[in-house]
Amino acid sequence: MSPRGQVRNEQMRAEALEKITSAALEVFAEYGYKGATMKQITKVSGLSYGLVYYYFPSKERIFRHLIDFAFESSIFALNTAMDVPGTAWEKIENLSTILVRNALSGESSLYFLIMLQAMTQGKSIPGLLDYVVKRSEAYYEKLVPVIIQAQKSGEAVKGDPVVLAAAYFSFVQGLATLVFQGKGMEKKIIPEILINVLRKGGQEK
């Protein structure tokens, strides 16, 4: 109850939460929502069964929490890339570099796997798929105006910009599956490959 005690408590709380979310991130990304068990999560986190449920009311809530965090940090990265001054095409190049870096290496790659798992298994949780789809759309539609601009300047391919944006982010999710192959192939992917999806080809129609 003393001020000092409160600070200590909050620190412990923060540490426990960190252990749980980081363990859950790892296990969910690897095994999917249904495939992951609370037992695995408790084991990886090093905490007991009861303590995990002291901080989170359910397995589903942990998963949703990770999904929300994944989207928020993705949107932040997207905005960062879009906000740098430059032409529309330069923004696309910039975004592609960031996405390749984030989706395919380090801890942030786990968040892309979480989004992929949410998409492929969303139907196992009532209402989740709709939620994920809605957030995904809001996410990739931020790219649409940039594509339109890049089409006008003749650097981006022609075609429905919404479809192109959807295809572009689908590609990122597809690339994330390379992580599962465990051969390090994902590290060999260069931003150029992703950029190419939107780049105008050599020959005109």
Q: What is the binding site for a second copy (CB under 8 A)?
A: 30-35, 113, 116-117, 119-124, 129, 133, 136-137, 157, 159-160, 162-164, 166-167, 170-175, 177-178, 180-183, 185, 188-190, 192-193, 196-202
Site mask for DNA (CB under 7 A), range 67-96, x = bound: ------------------------------
> Half-sphere exposure of residue 116, counting CA atoms within 13 Å on the CB side?
22
Biggest distance spanned by C-alpha atoms of the chain: 74
Torsion of CA 89, 176, 77, 94, to 10 degrees: -20
76 binds, among a second copy, DNA, none (CB under 5 to 8 A by kind): none
Of 31, 35, 52, 55, the C-alpha closest to 43 is 52
- What residues are paired with 156 via a beta bridge? 199
- Is 16 a binding residue for DNA by CB under 7 A? The answer is yes
Residue 157 interacting with DNA (CB under 7 A): no
Out of DNA, a second copy, none, which partner does residue 3 contact, by CB within 5 to 8 A per kind? none
